[in-house]
Amino acid sequence: MLTAKKSESDGGGENGAECQPPASSCSSSSSSSSSSSIMASPDTGAPLERTPRKKERASPGAEHGGSSAPGIMAGADGGQPETPEGRRTSRRKRAKVRGNPMAVISKQVNMELAKIKQKCPLYEANGQALHFTSQVPKEKDEMVEQEFNRLLEATSYLSHQLDFNVLNNKPVSLGQALEVVIQLQEKHVKDEQIEHWKKIVKTQEELKELLNKMVNLKEKIKELHQQYKEASDVKPPRDITAEFLVKSKHRDLTALCKEYDQLSEAQGKLEEKLQELEANPPSDVYLSSRDRQILDWHFANLEFANATPLSTLSLKHWDQDDDFEFTGSHLTVRNGYSCVPVALAEGLDIKLNTAVRQVRYTASGCEVIAVNTRSTSQTFIYKCDAVLCTLPLGVLKQQPPAVQFVPPLPEWKTSAVQRMGFGNLNKVVLCFDRVFWDPTVNLFGHVGSTTASRGELFLFWNLYKGILFSPPFGYLPVQTRVYLSANNKKYILFYLYAKKQPRYFWPWWQGKLQELWKTSVTTL
């Protein structure tokens, strides 16, 4: 969006003219940029607030790096901030940021705030049948989540302590680092297995040597016992030599029996140690297939929070905003974030169907050249003192450029634009005649069966009675995303909650998704 502060206008421009590029040139109209701060649901009015937590279940809305809604309540009430469940401790000391402007705006605008419950049960296929699922046990969920955070801390150590940030002259991504750590952990598991079997072999060798000693000692005892018996058979009175022989044999026999008892006791300890080693082997694998599926859910949640695959996130810089996150609870605006821009737009003369094509700027002033999107032959020129440019990153990166700057923007600015990345995050809302899920939770997760499909319909939000919201995934071609969103969403809900089909889809994809639903429902 370009806002021109007018000093003089031609071609129909008025005070406070605001020129917008056409929707076709604005990539953020159907995708979410990593640099954006608020994403609202235009049709439902439902807030899509999302925060870039590393450990928490992500909330839908603001992208990683932007201003998100946590802290609104703490800032508005002036009380102590409430820390959401599961917040990951950063490797650096956290700053308590209380400057969220939404705290002030929430008092000025009729915003219906509601705290989001952080409880997020996960559901997975239980293996008994295709359409039966079970909730991931709490202990298993917590164990994998703890390992997920350990992996993140390990990647932070690799980056900031070992300076492992470049490989083959290319920056290392967070996804690469995580896989490296997982491979190292798998190697560590195999090393522990080797050490365990070495201990077993060593104990068996010790036991073998001990048993050989006991066999030899037993033969000596038998031989000595025979000699003692023969010496004792001499009837008294015995001479001193015969008496000495009897007593010496008895002494030697007692010593050998005592030594045998000691060896027998050592045998029991070694056998007990061997049984303990054999009964408590180390894990065969670092992550079982089930553990990896649950871990992939957390990776998908992290990709959702950053609106981009982990393979494109910088290992060194991906969490640079950790020190500046807002404190307080996760909140949602029930009447929709649209109430904010509506209130802020009061008194502004917004030019609709007006696309900016060129911005001319000099030391003496600026000119904004725009066209009517319905009649491109109609041109408007707005003269002003300054231009406020809030074009989405996708529009600025577009080639050929949707908006031309004269003179061109400086190289340091254009290179920064090209270096910055942004992701794509689609959203689908399903409406049902009745609530068949747990109404006490705000969100629940679906654990995918493969790593490749981990971000596919992994999270469902309970927005209103009978309405489910879900981010499908954002890293496939558009046509594929639309089809899979329609087909797989109802498939997943089918085996999550047994043949419950949505009454209708939300309007922006309604026609296409209903058509796909009808054509694919027979595949169930």
* CATH number of the domain to which 208 belongs: 1.10.287.80
On whether the CB atoms of residues 314 and 174 are closer than 8 A, the answer is yes
On whether the CB atoms of residues 232 and 244 are closer than 8 A, the answer is no
Last residue of a domain, one of 228, 251, 279: 279
Beta 122-125 vs 443-446: how paired, if at all?
A: parallel
Last residue of a domain, one of 254, 279, 304: 279
> 472 exposed, middle or buried (CB, 10 Å; 0-12, 13-18, 19+)?
buried
On whether the CB atoms of residues 459 and 413 are closer than 8 A, the answer is no
Residues 375, 377, 378, 384: is their CA dihedral positive or negative? positive
Which structure tokens are listed for 194? 């080797």
Which pLDDT belongs to residue 328?
77
Q: 497 Cβ partners below 8 Å, 6+ apart? A: 436, 437
Closest CA to 469 of 102, 45, 37, 112: 45
Question: What residue type is 265 in one-letter code?
Answer: E
User: b/e string for 15-31 if b means 16 or more Cβ within 10 A?
Assistant: eebbbbbbeebbbbeeb
The answer to whether position 466 is within a domain reads yes
The answer to whether position 217 is within a domain reads yes
The answer to whether position 481 is within a domain reads yes
Count of domains forming the chain: 2
Closest CA to 449 of 461, 441, 457, 438: 457
pLDDT tens, residue order, the chain (524 aa): 554 444 433 333 333 333 333 333 333 333 333 333 223 333 333 333 333 344 455 544 433 333 333 333 433 443 333 333 333 333 344 445 567 788 888 888 888 888 887 788 998 876 444 445 688 999 999 999 999 999 999 999 999 999 999 988 999 999 999 999 999 999 999 999 999 999 999 999 999 999 999 999 999 999 999 988 888 888 878 788 888 888 898 999 999 999 999 999 999 999 999 999 999 999 888 999 999 999 999 999 998 888 888 998 999 988 887 777 777 778 888 888 888 888 888 898 888 899 999 999 988 899 999 999 888 778 999 999 999 998 988 889 988 888 999 999 999 999 999 888 777 777 777 777 778 788 888 888 989 888 888 888 888 888 666 677 776 554 443 444 444 444 555 555 554 554 444 444 444 344 444 444 444 443 33
The answer to whether position 464 is within a domain reads yes
3-state secondary structure of 117: coil
On whether the CB atoms of residues 54 and 302 are closer than 8 A, the answer is yes
The answer to whether position 67 is within a domain reads no
Strand-pair partners of 207: none
Residues 213, 215, 217, 219: is their CA dihedral positive or negative? negative
- Residue whose token pair is 């490296």: 180
Last residue of a domain, one of 250, 279, 308: 279
Please name the residue ranges forming H helices in 41-113.
72-77, 102-108
Give the predicted TM-score (pTM) of the model: 0.65
Which structure tokens are listed for 323? 């020190």
The answer to whether position 162 is within a domain reads no
Note down the domain range covering 247: 179-279
The answer to whether position 470 is within a domain reads yes
Residues in the chain: 524
Distances (CA, A) of 139 to 145, 286, 291: 10, 17, 12
How far is CA 193 from its chain centroid? 30
Question: What residue type is 281 in one-letter code?
Answer: P
Which pLDDT belongs to residue 493?
54
The answer to whether position 248 is within a domain reads yes
